[in-house]
Amino acid sequence: MVDSGRVDAVAGWHISAVRVALARRIGGRVVYAFAAMHEGGDDTPGVFMLGERPVNQLLPATHWLREHLGARRWVVVGNDYIYPRVTASVAQEALQGTGSEIIGAEYVALGTTNFDPVIKGLMATKADGVIMLLMGQDAVHFNVSSPGPG
The secondary structure of 81-142 as a DSSP string is SHHHHHHHHHHHHHHTTTT-EEEEEEEE-TT----HHHHHHHHTS--SEEEEE--HHHHHHH
Residues 116 and 85 in one domain: yes
Q: What whole-number distance in Å separates Cα of residue 85 and Cα of residue 145?
A: 22
Residues 23 and 74 in one domain: no
Residues 88 and 139 in one domain: yes
Residues 74 and 90 in one domain: yes
Among 102, 106, 138, smallest CA distance to 15 is for 138
> Do the beta carbons of residue 117 and residue 109 sit within 8 Å?
no
- Give the CATH number of the domain where residue 61 resides: 3.40.50.2300
- Residues lower than pLDDT 50 in the chain: none
CA 84 to chain centre: 4
Please write the tens of the pLDDT for every residue from 101-116. Answer: 999 999 999 999 999 9
Residues 61 and 109 in one domain: yes
Residues 123 and 74 in one domain: yes
Supply the range of the domain harboring residue 14.
9-49
Residues 109 and 62 in one domain: yes
Residues 58 and 40 in one domain: no
Among 10, 38, 36, 35, smallest CA distance to 24 is for 10
Q: What pLDDT does 117 receive?
A: 94
Q: What pLDDT does 125 receive?
A: 93
Residues 89 and 129 in one domain: yes
Q: What pLDDT does 44 receive?
A: 83
The pTM of this model reads 0.74
